[in-house]
Amino acid sequence: MTNNKILDNLPYKKPFLFVDQILHVDDFCIKGKFTFTTDMTFYSGHFINKPTTPGVLIVEAFAQLGGVAHGIYLLNLYDKEFTPAFSSASFDFFNFVQPGESIHIYSEKIALRNNYLKIKGEVHNSNGELVMQATGACKFMIL
């Protein structure tokens, strides 16, 4: 129930929602997944004849789950108005994500102070291969 409540409170909707499912959440970490379906419009123009998921969208999925969704849980932001601001991002890519693949996202809390959540984590593709390692921070402005 908590996982669906978090998803319902994310400030994103399709086509810019990059979290399908939250698999686990606690005070220290969050795990989830998202599938990049083959019909997503950006594939038609990203690397012609060899479509590949743009890295910036993989970073966005990491930020939405690891930063915003985990922050909603940790700060009890259910049904509250807030604006998240993701910053201080650092990431390294190791593999591609192809159309139709799911990514599995893992993020852990490094610190939480004054509505400022610092995180680190990884993204793996459908084959379990490491796609990206990242760190970042999410500041929550409560309205």
Active-site annotation holder among 46, 70, 104, 124: 46
Reading across the β-sheet that carries 116-124, which strands appear in turn?
A: 21-25, 29-35, 102-113, 116-124, 130-142, 82-93
Q: How far, in Å, CA of 143 to CA of 140, rounded?
A: 9
Q: How far apart (Å, rounded) are the C-alpha atoms in residues 9 and 119?
A: 20
Q: Are 69 and 22 in contact (CB under 8 A)?
A: yes
Q: Is 46 a catalytic residue?
A: yes
Catalytic residue annotation: 46
